[in-house]
Structure 1
Amino acid sequence: MEKLILTLLLDIKSFFYEHFPGTVQFETGFRGLSDDEFVEFEIRISGLAISDEQKETIDAINYNDPGPARMGEFVMLQKVKETVSKLKGKLHFSVLSKGEIMVHVLIPQQASSLKTGL
């Protein structure tokens, strides 16, 4: 499970660093919690240059619309979704303001007993 979570975090980071070319500088915040039942984390990114089209695509990813998620720069977000699915978790992207996105991930601890192949 730890390897998949690390892969997930790196993929999220890669997406934001590689796919917002209009952004000169942005800030990233991280909050993580763990208990007997869940591993939960949030990543908040602010200072992004997000177009209306990008916002619509991010919203579509939240609702399992595979169409735009497979296009161009958003392939990485689909990969993130697939990793969360392997962990039997939940994933949600929120565009909080024009230049701020929060990524919320909730993974059940029972996922640690899954054979994930990594």
Structure 2
Amino acid sequence: VKAQKCPASSPFVTSVGGATYGAIFREPFIQVDAETTGGFSSLHTNPAPAYQAKAVAAYLQTSGKRPSSNVNASRRCVPDLSAYSTGFYTVQDGNDQVIGGTSAATPVVAGMLSSI
């Protein structure tokens, strides 16, 4: 669990994380990249909202992972939303390429929100 910096930890933005779905030996799993996707706000002015309290407490009890000493679990947890983020085929300058990560997940969420 890491301390997340601005802009993702800002209370004035909606942060988006990426998730991958896969299977190992026919067992499905969903994976998120903890290094770039989630953690607690590094801003001392950004306390955890009440709606996150139950989920954060459950996570800290069951995950076996504890925040490092530079992380304050009483601060806002990010991301706000996650979306699938692996294997997006794109064409740039006439060349096919596959992209992933939050650079793929964020436009997915933006497109969904624009449809509301």
Q: TM-score, normalised by structure 2?
A: 0.26
